[in-house]
Amino acid sequence: MPIIAFQGRPGAYSDLLCRMVKPGWTTLPCRTFAEAIEAVHVGSADEAMLACENTLAGRVPDIHSLLPDADLYIVGEHFQRVEHCLLAVKGTRISDIRRIHTHPVALGQIRSLISELGAEAVPEFDTAGAAELVAKWNNPEDAAIASSLAGELNGLDLLRCNVEDATHNTTRFYRVAKEPCRPDPSRHDTLTTLLMRVKNRSGALYAALGGFSRHGINMTRIESYMLNGSFTATQFLMDVEGHPEQPALSMALSELGEVSDNLRILGVYPRSLSRDGA
């Protein structure tokens, strides 16, 4: 049976997405993104699902540092709506709750609930891990914020669902594999993820990106970060619409290669159907 790795404990939102995207596959929980990537490298998993950005929290720093050297290919993008649930041991009443446990980012997304219940906010390493702890303690004064799947796997009662303050809390994921799986160039719903480096000098970025504008290529994402603690060059991770074998993007990439260093294609994959509504 094929295996897909993810970062987190069983029942994490990444686990939930893996089960939706790859029904019938076995999901493999990993402590870190690096372990999920390594699982694909050594053959313990066929693919990995890696969170890359969130509408509230922004980019996922670990992925930006790991992905360029991962020697894996992006083969898909997926969006997971984050629907926080208030979970507790069976028989718990909401009035019993004194402490709410979850990941620090999730705590920042449920301020209204914390205020309403007058509960202590307790940061934990993971949302699903918080659910495991609450189940282990078996104390009605402790509740967890996690996915409904985490509640189900740990035998917890779902006291409330969708307790997040913002309804647009969505995480985007890259699905990666050891081998590329490029769509047919005739498809018009393709995204390409690139990595390039430019010198920190006047006009360098303008020269590097001008080709996309000249050839009508839409850029859906660009992230910059310094390399090895140096201020002399900046690396950019970009998602652009189009296929490298289509004339417009091919010409834009040719121009980009002339004015940038270390240009690499990390993946060519179908655009998610839920992108516009994510």
Active site residues: 171, 173
Q: For residues 32-64, b (16+ Cβ closer than 10 Å) or e, as one string?
A: ebeebbbbbeeeebbbbbbbbbbeeeebbebbb
**CA distance linking residue 93 with residue 72, whole number of Å:** 47
Dihedral sign, CA of 63, 68, 71, 77? positive
Rg of the chain in Å (alpha carbons): 21
**CA distance linking residue 215 with residue 232, whole number of Å:** 29
Q: Measured in whole angstroms, how far is the alpha carbon of residue 256 from the centre of its chain?
A: 27
**CA distance linking residue 47 with residue 2, whole number of Å:** 9
Sorted by sequence, the CB contacts under 8 Å of residue 18 that are 6+ apart come out as 4, 6, 25, 27, 49
**CA distance linking residue 87 with residue 104, whole number of Å:** 17
